[in-house]
Amino acid sequence: MLESPMVSEYPCLYVSGKQMPEIDKWEVGEEYELKVKIKMQRYNSHTDIKSTHSDATLDVIAYDA
C-alpha cells in the first residue's frame, strides 16, 4: 500500500493507451497503484513577496503497473 504525503495538491499524469496499454483494462473512478521511475529535466524556483514557488518537468523513464 502506498502512503501519500500531506500536500494540498497532487500531480496529474496524462498517458495514452499507446504509452501505457494497461489503461485499456482499467475502470474510471477506480484506484490503481503505479510505480514510476522519473528523470528530472527542469527545475524552477522563484520567490514573491509572500512565498516561494517551485515547479519541475519530470519524464517517466520506467514504470510498473
pLDDT at 15: 95
pLDDT at 7: 81
Q: What is the pLDDT of residues 5-50, one digit of tens each?
A: 778 888 899 999 999 999 999 999 999 999 999 999 999 999 999 9
For 27-36, which contacts have Cβ atoms below 8 Å and span 24 or more sequence positions?
Answer: 32/65, 33/2, 33/65, 34/63, 34/64, 34/65, 35/63, 35/64, 35/65, 36/60, 36/62, 36/63
pLDDT at 3: 76
pLDDT at 5: 77
Task: Answer whether residue 54 shows pLDDT above 90.
Answer: yes
pLDDT at 1: 67
Residue pair 59/36 in contact by the 8 Å Cβ criterion: no
